[in-house]
């Protein structure tokens, strides 16, 4: 019994070390990049969005709004107060919807993490999140033309923690908070990935999420909700799943529903949307995740 236990521990640490070595540098650089943009670039990104208010681009504004949402380094609880301030300045709600949706799905740090999954996943993730933001803005414009979509007054503002007068110390403190926020999830992701490689047969996983792609996309969209806790923490799992036969479409569906419908995000979304609009958000997210997953499988065929 002891011999078997030691053998399994050796196998586990073997898979663990390989997985950690493959993605640790991406995690570290991603944290530094996210903190740098948060400390030195956040206000510039948001001021660009405000300056859009003086233009006459109309509905086409959802395009730069979605791009700026991706560029914004804030989490959900930081994005909503910023979006509320945009609303107070008279920004159109379709622009705000595009900004918020893409910001929920992606940020510079998570985008850099995704580079560890290969160029195809990186391109798909960026394109899907950008298009999702644009589509959300268009839907809000067409379906909620006469009604306010957001209820920002119900959301309590979150204090800015980057207040140290020394820019370098602000950056270091932000890095520290970033590590504390993502480190445990990153470690958990590597552990689960090592266990998966050791104990889950490659063939059975490929049958569900690879060869049977339509069903695989639906399944991936479903499991994204309970399994997705942190963007960085899912990168090791996704890397292993892709290596074991998961299609790019299934990975896409998982990334969208997981990021948009994780529990920590849903609470904030429900507050600012109300129950009816919240249900619309859920339906929109699931439909977009499935359709984008099917499209990714069709276009790339990998």
Q: What is the pLDDT of residues 246-259, one digit of tens each?
A: 889 999 999 999 88
Q: How far apart (Å, rounded) are the C-alpha atoms in residues 189 and 270?
A: 28
Q: Is pLDDT at 218 greater than 70 in this prediction?
A: yes
Q: How far apart (Å, rounded) are the C-alpha atoms in residues 291 and 264?
A: 24
Two structure tokens written together for 45: 């990104």
Contacts (Cβ under 8 Å, ≥6 apart) of 53: 89, 90, 91
Q: Grade residue 74 by pLDDT with cuts at 50, 70 and 90.
A: confident
Q: How far apart (Å, rounded) are the C-alpha atoms in residues 239 and 225?
A: 18
> Which of residues 5 and 101 earns the better pLDDT score?
101
Report the greatest alpha carbon distance in the chain: 73
Task: Say what percent of the chain tops pLDDT 90.
Answer: 28
Q: What local confidence, expressed as pLDDT, does residue 244 receive?
A: 83
Among candidates 34, 23, 17, 4, which has minimal Cα distance to 181? 34
Q: Is 245 left (phi over 0), alpha (psi -120 to 50) or beta?
A: left
Q: What local confidence, expressed as pLDDT, does residue 1 receive?
A: 61
Q: What local confidence, expressed as pLDDT, does residue 206 receive?
A: 66
Q: Is pLDDT at 222 greater than 90 in this prediction?
A: no
Rounded to 5 degrees, what angle do the CA atoms 217, 220, 223 make? 150
Task: Say what percent of the chain tops pLDDT 70.
Answer: 90
Q: What percent of the residues of the chain are helix, what percent strand, and what percent coil, each to the nearest 5?
A: 85, 0, 15
39-53 per-position pLDDT tens digit: 888 888 888 887 887
Two structure tokens written together for 290: 């499935």
Q: Is pLDDT at 302 greater than 60 in this prediction?
A: no
Q: Is pLDDT at 203 greater than 70 in this prediction?
A: no
How many other CB atoms sit within 10 Å of the CB of residue 231? 24
Q: How far apart (Å, rounded) are the C-alpha atoms in residues 68 and 274?
A: 25
Q: Is pLDDT at 137 greater than 70 in this prediction?
A: yes
Helix 213-227 and helix 263-300: axis angle, to 10°?
160
Q: What local confidence, expressed as pLDDT, does residue 202 receive?
A: 66
Given a contact cutoff of 8 angstroms between Cβ atoms, the answer to whether 294 and 214 are in contact is: yes
């Amino acid at each position: 019994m002891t011999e078997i236990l030691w053998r399994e521990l050796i196998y586990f640490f073997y898979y663990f070390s390989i997985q950690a070595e493959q993605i640790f540098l991406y995690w570290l650089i991603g944290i530094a990049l996210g903190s740098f943009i948060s400390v030195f670039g956040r206000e510039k990104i948001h001021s660009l969005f405000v300056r859009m208010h003086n233009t006459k681009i109309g509905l086409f504004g959802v395009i730069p709004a979605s791009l700026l949402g991706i560029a914004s380094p804030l989490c959900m609880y930081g994005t909503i107060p910023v979006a509320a301030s945009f609303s107070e300045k008279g920004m159109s709600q379709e622009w705000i919807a595009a900004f918020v949706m893409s910001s929920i799905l992606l940020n510079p740090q998570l985008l850099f993490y995704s580079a560890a999954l290969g160029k195809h996943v990186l391109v798909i993730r960026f394109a899907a999140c950008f298009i999702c933001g644009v589509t959300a803005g268009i839907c809000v414009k067409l379906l909620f033309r006469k009604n306010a979509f957001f209820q920002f007054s119900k959301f309590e503002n979150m204090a800015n923690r980057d207040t140290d007068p020394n820019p370098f110390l602000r950056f270091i403190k932000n890095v520290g908070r970033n590590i504390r926020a993502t480190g445990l999830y990153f470690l958990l992701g590597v552990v689960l990935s090592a266990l998966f490689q050791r104990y889950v047969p490659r063939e059975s996983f490929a049958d569900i999420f690879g060869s049977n792609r339509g069903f695989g996309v639906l399944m991936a969209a479903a499991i994204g909700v309970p399994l997705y806790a942190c963007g960085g923490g899912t990168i090791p799992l996704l890397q292993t799943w892709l290596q074991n036969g998961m299609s790019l479409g299934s990975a896409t569906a998982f990334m969208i529903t997981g990021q948009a419908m994780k529990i920590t995000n849903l609470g904030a979304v429900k507050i600012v949307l109300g129950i009816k609009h919240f249900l619309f958000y859920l339906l929109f997210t699931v439909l977009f995740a499935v359709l984008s997953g099917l499209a990714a499988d069709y276009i790339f065929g990998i």
